[in-house]
Amino acid sequence: HTKTLKVKDLKDVLPFKVKLSTNKVIQEQGDVIAAEGDTVTLDCKYETTSAYAYLFWYKQEVNKFPKYVLRRDTASEDNDQEFPKNRFDAELNKTSVPLKIQKLQLSDSAVYYCALQPTVTGNSKTLYKNLWSKDNRILHNIH
C-alpha cells in the first residue's frame, strides 16, 4: 500500500528560503578622449546582493574578441600579463570599480567593458586559453 504526497508549493518541501542574488553593472560615461601619455579613469558602478563580488574589465578593439584585462574581488586581484598593474589598475569599492589607465598609448584605443560575475560564454574555445588566472582556478567567461 503506497501513499501519494501532493506538493502544492515548493516552499512546502524546502526547510529554508533560497535568496537569489541580483547583479547590475552601470557604465554611463560614454566616450573618453585623451592624449598620448595622459591618465584616464573609466567609471563602472555596480549593485549586487551577493556578499562576495568579482569585478572584471575587458578591452575590445575593433573587429576583435574582448580581452581580459583584470579582475578585482574582496579577497584578491589579478591582471593579465598584457595589461600590467603599473598602467592598468582598478580599486574595488563597495559600489564601483573604476579602471585607471596611465601613460596612454595609441594601442589603448578600444571599448572597455566592466562585468560583474557571473559572466557568460558561448562556445569560444579559442578565447579560453588566454583567460585562466595565474593560479588556474578561475576561468573568466565572456560572451
CA 101/CA 98 separation, integer angstroms = 10
Taking alpha carbons only, the member of 119, 98, 78 closest to residue 27 is 98
- Amino acid identity at 66: P
Q: Which residue has the cell 508549493?
A: 9
Average pLDDT over residues 12-22: 49
Provide CATH code, domain 23-128: 2.60.40.10
94-103 per-position pLDDT tens digit = 999 999 999 9
Query: Residue 121: what pLDDT?
Result: 52
Query: Residue 30: what pLDDT?
Result: 78
CB 140 within 8 A of CB 117: no
Average pLDDT over residues 34-55: 90
CB 112 within 8 A of CB 57: yes
Residue spans of the domains in the chain: they are 23-128
CB atoms within 10 A of CB 95: 12
1 HSE (CA, 13 A, CB side): 0
Quote helix, strand, coil % in the chain, to nearest 5: 5, 30, 65
Predicted confidence band at 140 (pLDDT cuts at 50, 70, 90)? very low
